[in-house]
Amino acid sequence: MSGKVLGPVVAPSDRSFSYGDGRSNSKGNLKAMNAPVPPTNMKAQLLGTTVEHVDITSFDARPIIDSMRKMSFSSRDTARAADIFNMAIEDKDCSPWLILAGSTSAGGCMHVYRDMVKFGMIDAVVATGASIVDMDFFEALGFKHYQAAGPVDDNVLRDNYIDRIYDTYIDEEELQACDHTILEIANRLEPRGYSSREFIWEMGKWLSEGNAKKPGSLIQTAYEEGVPIFCPAFVDSSAGFGLVKHQKERAAAGKPYMMLDAIADFRELTDIKIAAGTTGLFMVGGGVPKNFAQDTVVCAEILGVEADMHKYAVQITVADVRDGACSSSTLKEAASWGKVSTTYEQMVFAEATTVVPLIGSDAYHRGAWKGREKRRWQKLFA
């Protein structure tokens, strides 16, 4: 995760283990780590206002979306994106997927994605490791994200062991506790290869066993609803630190260790695409999760299965097209690769926290999800 502090400013004498990136933790066991070091007055002030996650059930965005449909520019794009997302939910043959990159979960959209899964609008999730571990799982452990009150020298944040995502703060001590929890989960597993879907399933199981300090996280909800979560770059997150420590400790002791199987990730998500037939993508950001989900169509073809292109596709991004990327191409460009149909696709060039709650609330209150059968794709891997 960007912004990680690479070493503490003060190294207390009771630190009993260290991370390979130079970070050290102030306590030697999980119980102690969940009791953070008392903050300084400065740190308490900096972490004084928590981020509150928007609740799409508490307001009705349909009038706003209806008005936007009569406007122009990004407003009309947003309304059409909402319409396409609702079409995917209404289509009895369609399996909608959530594709998630960036830091919108930390910024207040965490419950939007959870509720999309909870209410059956989403059948599978493909995300960055940071979205799933550093943000969602982190809060499931009882920790918080905080609003920055104003500009602060990042060196001051470093001195107070605080990580920054734009105007959002994370307590690094708590983030290291998250790292170590990943280590504890890895240590209890059979030493073999796991897809990210399988490991995240174990994380959801661990939370559901009474370990969640904040019930109703995306990971726990997905576990309970049979919705698989994939993180194709899983170790690019707090999970990476814990898993590296797991392997280092096991190897030093001459014991076998668990590992992640990236090929299994691709195979399993392609299996879902083949089983689903018609699919829709609701994409926040882009990059690896977007490309990974889109490529399942091509992978099915390589396997000798004629799979339909993703029928419905929405991408919300601020990425530019002029560098030839747009966070993994525009949706129209993806059609040339055989990934996305251009009949029902919409790019929305907007900062996601401003439009995702509107689209989510619109879909919730229009209620098409009430009539659709949850696919529970986890059953494919039972």
Which active-site residues does the annotation give? Answer: 339
* Three-state SS at 152: coil
Is residue 273 within a helix (H) or strand (E), and if so which, with residue range? helix 262-276
Would you tell me the crossing angle of helices 352-366 and 110-118 to the nearest 10 degrees? 30
Amino acid at 49: T
The strand pairing partners of 26, in sequence order, are none
* Three-state SS at 68: helix
Q: Residues with Cβ < 8 Å from 328, sequence gap 6 or more?
A: 286, 287, 288, 290, 291, 294
Burial 254-278 (b: 16+ CB within 10 A, else e): eeebbebbbebbbebbbbbbbebeb
HEC per residue, 10-41? CCCCCCCEECCCCCEECCCCHHHHCCCCCCCH
CA geometry: angle 267, 273, 279, nearest 5 deg: 150
- Residue 35 and residue 288: Cα distance in Å, rounded? 35
- Residue 74 and residue 80: Cα distance in Å, rounded? 10
Tokens of 317: 């991004």
